[in-house]
């Protein structure tokens, strides 16, 4: 499979393995992908996009608990990185739009 905007991935960040993520864009110049990744930690003082397991985005991401995306939780790098594990399907359009607005992509 080839990563594209809206692709669902699992990404390894720091000590956490397999965080849910969404590809926000693919840089046409170098092929790098910008991935927004979620966490289970709620930080109410920060702007966020919340996704719950039973909504369409939560089902697509395979979530088992509420997950929060923050602007600072983004990774830009090669699509061949061992940090990424592409999942089946794509996220709903509304989530892609919301995450792009949050991260500024």
Give domain status of residue 12, yes or no.
Answer: yes
Helical (H) or strand (E) element with 33: strand 33-39
Give domain status of residue 43, yes or no.
Answer: yes
User: Sign of dihedral through CA atoms 94, 104, 65, 86?
Assistant: positive
Looking at residue 24, which CATH number applies to its domain?
2.30.30.110
pTM over 0.85: yes
- Residue 25: which domain range? 7-103
Q: Please write the tens of the pLDDT for every residue from 39-85.
A: 999 999 999 999 999 999 999 999 999 999 999 999 999 999 999 99
Give domain status of residue 83, yes or no.
Answer: yes
Domain count, the chain: 1
Give domain status of residue 34, yes or no.
Answer: yes
Q: Please write the tens of the pLDDT for every residue from 5-16.
A: 999 999 999 889
């Amino acid at each position: 499979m080839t990563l594209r905007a809206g692709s669902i991935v699992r990404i390894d960040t720091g000590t956490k393995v397999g965080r849910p993520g969404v590809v926000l864009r693919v840089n046409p110049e170098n092929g790098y992908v910008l991935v927004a990744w979620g966490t289970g930690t709620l930080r109410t003082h920060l702007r966020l996009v919340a996704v719950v397991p039973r909504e369409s985005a939560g089902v697509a991401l395979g979530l088992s608990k509420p997950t929060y995306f923050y602007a600072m939780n983004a990774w830009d790098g090669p699509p061949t990185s061992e940090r990424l594990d592409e999942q089946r399907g794509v996220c709903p359009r509304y989530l892609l739009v919301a995450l792009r607005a949050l991260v500024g992509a």
